[in-house]
A and B are shown apart, each in its own frame.
Chain A
Amino acid sequence: MNIFRLAGDMTHLASVLVLLLKIHTIKSCAGVSLKTQELYALVFACRYLDIFTNFVSLYNTVMKLIFLGSSFSIVWYMRYHKVVRRSYDKDQDTFRHYFLVLPCLVLALLINEKFTFKEVMWTFSLYLEAVAILPQLVLLQRTRNIDNLTGQYVFLLGAYRGLYILNWIYRYFTEPHFVHWITWISGLVQTLLYADFFYYYYQSWKNNQKLHLPA
């Protein structure tokens, strides 16, 4: 494992911890999109179908369990916790799941490396992860006042994507036959979706102002 991959995983982990911290200690999920969180839970459930059959390393297995556990517990908190669920911006978070899920499923059935159930589900999870942030970005755009933790959460997720691209570049040059077009293209699309947010995040950080997205 190279330094970019490790740093990418750690920022991904940090993003989840920041979100759990916000929900667990402040008992608020204001500005957080339940749609995006449900899509992430679906992404991990479909991607880690091999968790007990394909052992890569203890690190991989533990991280998979953490991502599965945290994504489902965030969804649980936002849906059912008696305090947290009251802070959910339900009326603003109106993105429809199936607009994203159905095209990704069709695409995974058409474009995959191997037409088996596990492989199609894995490909579906890559396509869906690429666009799962959209409901969150739409919600940020709508509510416009973004608290620090929500801003940091999205920033860390974007950083994780960027580091994964560096990891692929590194692996391409250091490992023979490391070519994964589906992973790369969907990963690149996902990272580009953060570009706009990153621009405003950087501006607010540079000017030492509160993050504020234009209408």
Chain B
Amino acid sequence: QESDDEHDEL
């Protein structure tokens, strides 16, 4: 699960 400050959407 990515942490909140890493944005995985474009």
Contacts and interface: CB of A to CB of B under 8 A. Distances in A.
Interface in B1-10: 1-2, 4-10
Q: Is the interface of A mostly helix, strand, loop or mixed?
A: helix
B10 to A, nearest CB: 5
A85 interface: no
A56 B1 contact: no
Nearest to A54: B6
Contacts of B10: 9, 12, 60, 63-64, 67
Interface residues of A, number: 22
Contacts of A67: 10
Contacts of B9: 5, 164, 167, 183
A5 B4 CA distance: 18
Contacts of A119: 5
Contact of B1 (A12, A54, A113, A175): A175
14 contacts: A9-B10, A47-B7, A50-B7, A54-B6, A56-B6, A56-B8, A60-B8, A60-B10, A67-B10, A113-B5, A114-B5, A164-B9, A175-B1, A177-B1
Given A12-B10, A54-B7, 8 more contacts: A9-B10, A54-B6, A56-B6, A64-B10, A113-B5, A122-B7, A175-B1, A176-B1
Interface of B: 1-2, 4-10
Interface of A: 5, 9, 12, 47, 50, 54, 56, 60, 63-64, 67, 113-114, 119, 122, 164, 167, 175-177, 180, 183
Closest 6 CB pairs of A and B: A56-B8, A63-B10, A54-B6, A9-B10, A114-B5, A122-B7
